[in-house]
Amino acid sequence: MSYIKVINLHKTIKKIEILNNINLELEKGKIYGFYGRNGSGKSMLFRAISGLIIPTKGDVYVNGKHISKDRSFPESMGLIIENVGFWPWYTGFKCLKLLSSIKNIINNDDIINTLNRVDLDPYSKKTYKQYSLGMKQKLGIAQAIMEKPELIILDEPTNALDVESIDNIRKILNEERERGATILIASHNMDDINMLSDEKFSIDKGILKFV
């Protein structure tokens, strides 16, 4: 059975078709890359899969759960779509600690290990508002992976990162795949798509094509 199944998906906003009859079946434990220009529909597709929007028409299933019905969400998901908002006056550790209290399935050591994985100092007193753009991106990735979710959805995960950090994030994503996670990446950077993806798709004007 497909882990993610998208059937005849349409999304229309102000009479503009953002997603145009998308059909998609994705297996568990792979990295899938979605390439397209800004405004092509990548982020909107990710929003539909993650339950953040209601499709105009069509259905989305994740692990057998009907996501597009009654505004539900995948049960085990880490997510970055556009800018991740954190509390500006808290440290990175404190931000992740507050988020982890929602499900309460990880402890302080898990958060410390995750921050170390993305090359952020878990003991730093620097607050989020003092972070550089690259540090903010790393913290966003940390919150997406810290609870070891089954589904990881990342929109432009290497934005604002230097070469060394990009290499590290690619290493982390490969490790997450080996753990069994299903990973969806959207990028306008073909290097990310080519180096990471088991399967690749392009999106243009809301139309999805297998590459």
Domain boundary among 148, 176, 197: 148
Clarify whether residues 138 and 123 are in a common domain. Answer: yes
Clarify whether residues 144 and 201 are in a common domain. Answer: no
The predicted-structure confidence for 115-133, as pLDDT tens digits, reads as follows 999 999 999 999 999 999 9
Q: Which pLDDT does position 16 carry in this prediction?
A: 93
Contact assessment for residue 66 and residue 113, using Cβ atoms and an 8 Å cutoff:
no
Q: Using CA atoms, how far apart are residues 204 and 207, in angstroms rounded to an integer?
A: 5
DSSP annotation string for the chain: --SEEEEEEEEEETTEEEEEEEEEEE-TT-EEEEE--TTSSHHHHHHHHHTSS--SEEEEEETTEETTTTT---SSEEEE-SPPP--TTSBHHHHHHHHHHHH----HHHHHHHHHHTT--TT---BGGG--HHHHHHHHHHHHHTT--SEEEEESTTTT--HHHHHHHHHHHHHHHHHT-EEEEEES-HHHHHHH-SEEEEEETTEEEE-
Residue 70 lies in a domain: yes
Clarify whether residues 62 and 7 are in a common domain. Answer: yes
Q: Which of 184, 174, 109, 187 is nearest to 146 (CA)?
A: 109
Clarify whether residues 50 and 13 are in a common domain. Answer: yes
Residue 81 lies in a domain: no
Pairing of the two strands 182-187 and 77-80:
unpaired
Q: Using CA atoms, how far apart are residues 135 and 165, in angstroms rounded to an integer?
A: 10
Residue 206 lies in a domain: yes
Domain boundary among 133, 148, 163: 148
pLDDT band at 191 (very low <50, low <70, confident <90, very high): confident
Residue 51 lies in a domain: yes
Clarify whether residues 144 and 154 are in a common domain. Answer: no
Domain range for residue 25? 1-76+150-211
Q: Which pLDDT does position 189 carry in this prediction?
A: 80
Clarify whether residues 71 and 154 are in a common domain. Answer: yes
Clarify whether residues 58 and 158 are in a common domain. Answer: yes
CATH of the domain at 180: 3.40.50.300
Domain boundary among 127, 148, 169: 148
Residue 184 lies in a domain: yes
Clarify whether residues 164 and 113 are in a common domain. Answer: no
Q: Which pLDDT does position 3 carry in this prediction?
A: 97
Residue 30 lies in a domain: yes
Q: Which pLDDT does position 69 carry in this prediction?
A: 72
How much of the chain exceeds pLDDT 70, in percent? 99
Clarify whether residues 144 and 208 are in a common domain. Answer: no
Clarify whether residues 2 and 72 are in a common domain. Answer: yes
Residue 185 lies in a domain: yes
Residue 205 lies in a domain: yes
Q: How many structural domains compose the chain?
A: 2
The predicted-structure confidence for 49-108, as pLDDT tens digits, reads as follows 999 999 999 999 999 999 977 678 999 999 998 777 899 999 999 999 999 999 999 999
Clarify whether residues 71 and 21 are in a common domain. Answer: yes
Q: Which pLDDT does position 37 carry in this prediction?
A: 87
Pairing of the two strands 4-13 and 57-62:
antiparallel
Clarify whether residues 71 and 110 are in a common domain. Answer: no
